[in-house]
């Protein structure tokens, strides 16, 4: 069958790489794609915000499944328009995509269904927000309500920082995303990402990972889209996974079905594992990036078959996803200046040498300048490897990173540190 994949990041390269391995695939098209995706797909010039053009393309090329990688087209209702014309789509419609598109919407849902999350207040003007601030101890978390590409969250440690954050939100710095704010209690704990595949009714857990959001080693510096990840996240024990399914994912999927807007696609729960148990930080309605890279590296099932079963509402009949017992770890190589002003155009070499180390190098933000590969985004490459343990996957990934020639790039050197420290503590525990 013919498939169209929308997106241009490391997540979509990993999806393209995995889809291309499916015996069900005839032709894979990708838009806008990147030079890595081009190794597996025919790149087409399509703008995902031009819904009519996407629908027309699908008709002309007999596309049977459209896979929507990023959140913006989902929140914008592209899936609705494709479904109206009869295409199978992997990704939710506009209404259930509100789970990511509006933090206030998700907080209300949590309140209504008793889903554990941080205590919160929502305000749509500065005066109301200032009044609400008084109900929260410091540090306090202030978030733009709408989509802000992971940058709309400020953790304020002092009253002055909280005031400055509200000022920034309401002065238009976050565009329409900041028209309302959510003020939240600060949660202490370790973060993890939990994924579930659902067609609106059947729900299948789809792995765990841990991202590294801060730009610098030791989790320092500003937040980014994610500087590296590993999977599985052992901190999400089977007991915690069971609670996340029962206390968060199942009530959420049921609530969407009950309001006549079933959620179909991948639901990504961002968790804080607190002393009181797992709490929901946020939902995303698509795969995480770079979490997708490590999940795809471990997935043994046919991704296309699973996506198709999801899109067609037949997940109950599908074979549940199988993941390798191996761990996978990915290191993001970013362009100097990221996340503020990444330098464009820096030359990249050594990918074949890195892959000879046994890693897979996913392109996240690359372009061709003539026949030279150059940086074309903040996050540029996701260097990904497998191993019998996270430590082994980490060693392989960094051996590959060291073969990459990207003078204007940088990466964190400590991806996986929490898990590796846990492993060492565990070993000490056994020997002592």
> Which stretches of the chain bind ligand GLY, using CB under 6 A?
150, 211, 225-226, 284, 288-289, 291
Choice from 118, 227, 229, 280 touching ligand AMP (CB under 6 A): 118
Q: Give me the torsion for CA of 173, 178, 179, 184, rounded to 10°.
A: -140
Nearer to ligand GLY, 150 or 346 (CB): 150
Nearer to ligand GLY, 224 or 310 (CB): 224
In the complex, minimum distance from the CB of residue 402 to ligand AMP, in angstroms, rounded to a whole number = 29
Using the 8-state DSSP alphabet, how is residue 176 labeled? G
416: left (phi over 0), alpha (psi -120 to 50) or beta: left
d(CA 229, CA 239): 22
In the complex, minimum distance from the CB of residue 346 to ligand GLY, in angstroms, rounded to a whole number = 23
Long-range interactions of 150-157: CB distance < 8 A, separation 24+:
150/213, 150/223, 150/224, 150/225, 151/223, 151/339, 152/177, 152/178, 153/223, 155/186
In the complex, minimum distance from the CB of residue 139 to ligand AMP, in angstroms, rounded to a whole number = 8
Q: Rule CB under 6 A: which of 265-304 touch ligand AMP?
A: 270, 281-282
In the complex, minimum distance from the CB of residue 362 to ligand GLY, in angstroms, rounded to a whole number = 14
Q: What is the helix, strand, coil percentage profile of the chain, to 5?
A: 35, 30, 35
- From ligand GLY, ligand AMP, none, interface partner of 226 (C-beta below 5 to 8 A by class): ligand GLY
Interaction mask 16-45, ligand AMP, x per CB under 6 A? ------------------------------
Q: Are the C-beta atoms of residues 228 and 331 closer than 8 Å to each other?
A: yes
- From ligand GLY, ligand AMP, none, interface partner of 291 (C-beta below 5 to 8 A by class): ligand GLY
Whole-angstrom Cα Rg for the chain = 21
Q: How many C-beta atoms lie closer than 10 Å to residue 242's C-beta?
A: 11
In the complex, minimum distance from the CB of residue 270 to ligand GLY, in angstroms, rounded to a whole number = 7
Nearer to ligand GLY, 210 or 366 (CB): 210
DSSP string, 18-86: HHTT-TT-SEEEEEE--TTGGGTSEE----TT-HHHHHHHHHHTTEEEEEE-SHHHHHTTHHHHHHHTT
Q: List phi, psi (to 5°) of 71.
A: -75, -35
**CA angle (41 as vertex; 35, 46 as ends), nearest 5:** 80
Choice from 153, 196, 271, 380 touching ligand AMP (CB under 6 A): 153
Nearer to ligand AMP, 11 or 363 (CB): 11
Q: Rule CB under 6 A: which of 158-187 touch ligand AMP?
A: 184, 186-187
Using the 8-state DSSP alphabet, how is residue 114 labeled? T
Q: Treating both helix axes as pointing N-terminal to C-terminal, what angle do 250-258 and 103-113 enclose, rounded to 10 degrees?
A: 100
Q: Does 72 bind ligand AMP (CB under 6 A)?
A: no
d(CA 232, CA 297): 11
Q: Rule CB under 6 A: which of 184-203 touch ligand AMP?
A: 184, 186-187, 191
- From ligand GLY, ligand AMP, none, interface partner of 199 (C-beta below 5 to 8 A by class): none
With the C-alpha atoms ordered 73, 197, 208, 144, is the resulting torsion angle positive or negative?
positive
Residues that contact ligand AMP, how many (by CB under 6 A): 14
- From ligand GLY, ligand AMP, none, interface partner of 289 (C-beta below 5 to 8 A by class): ligand GLY
In the complex, minimum distance from the CB of residue 154 to ligand AMP, in angstroms, rounded to a whole number = 9
Nearer to ligand GLY, 103 or 403 (CB): 103
Contacts with ligand AMP, residue ranges (CB under 6 A): 118, 141, 143, 150, 153, 184, 186-187, 191, 213, 223, 270, 281-282
């Amino acid at each position: 069958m013919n498939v169209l994949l929308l997106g241009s990041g490391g997540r979509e390269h990993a999806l393209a790489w995995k889809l291309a391995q499916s015996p069900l695939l005839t032709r894979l098209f990708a838009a806008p794609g990147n030079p890595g995706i081009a190794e597996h797909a025919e790149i087409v010039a399509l703008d995902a915000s031009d819904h009519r053009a996407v629908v027309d393309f699908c008709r002309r090329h007999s596309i049977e499944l459209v896979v929507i990688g990023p959140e913006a087209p989902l929140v914008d209702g592209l899936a609705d328009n494709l479904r109206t014309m009869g295409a199978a789509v992997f990704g939710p419609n506009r209404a259930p995509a509100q789970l990511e598109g509006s933090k206030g919407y998700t907080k209300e849902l949590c309140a209504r269904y008793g889903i554990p999350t941080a205590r919160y207040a929502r305000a749509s003007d500065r005066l109301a927000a200032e009044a609400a601030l008084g109900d929260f101890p410091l540090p306090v978390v202030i978030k733009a309500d709408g989509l802000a590409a992971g940058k709309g969250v400020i953790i304020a440690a002092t009253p002055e920082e909280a005031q400055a954050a509200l000022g920034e939100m309401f002065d238009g710095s976050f565009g329409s995303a900041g028209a309302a704010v959510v003020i939240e209690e600060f949660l202490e704990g370790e973060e993890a990402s939990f994924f579930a595949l659902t067609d609106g009714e059947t729900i299948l857990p789809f792995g765990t990972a841990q991202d590294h959001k801060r730009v610098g080693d030791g989790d320092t510096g500003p937040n980014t889209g994610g500087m590296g990840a590993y999977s599985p996240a052992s901190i999400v024990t089977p007991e915690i996974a069971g609670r996340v399914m029962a206390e968060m994912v199942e009530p959420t999927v049921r609530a969407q079905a009950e309001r006549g807007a079933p959620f179909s696609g991948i639901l990504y729960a961002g968790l804080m594992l607190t002393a009181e148990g797992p709490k929901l930080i946020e939902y995303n309605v698509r795969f995480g990036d770079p979490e997708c890279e490590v999940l795809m590296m471990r997935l043994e099932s046919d991704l296309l078959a699973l996506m198709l079963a999801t899109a067609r509402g037949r997940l109950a009949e599908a074979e549940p996803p199988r993941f390798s017992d191996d761990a996978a770890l990915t290191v993001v190589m970013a362009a100097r200046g990221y996340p503020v002003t990444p330098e464009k155009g820096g030359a990249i070499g050594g990918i074949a040498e890195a892959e000879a180390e046994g890693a897979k190098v996913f392109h996240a933000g690359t372009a061709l300048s003539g026949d030279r590969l150059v940086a074309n985004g903040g996050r540029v490459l996701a260097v990904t490897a497998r191993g019998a343990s996270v430590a082994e996957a980490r060693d392989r990934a960094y051996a590959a990173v060291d073969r990459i020639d990207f003078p204007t790039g940088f990466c964190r050197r400590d991806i996986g540190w929490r898990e590796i420290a846990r492993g060492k503590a565990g070993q000490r525990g056994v020997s002592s």
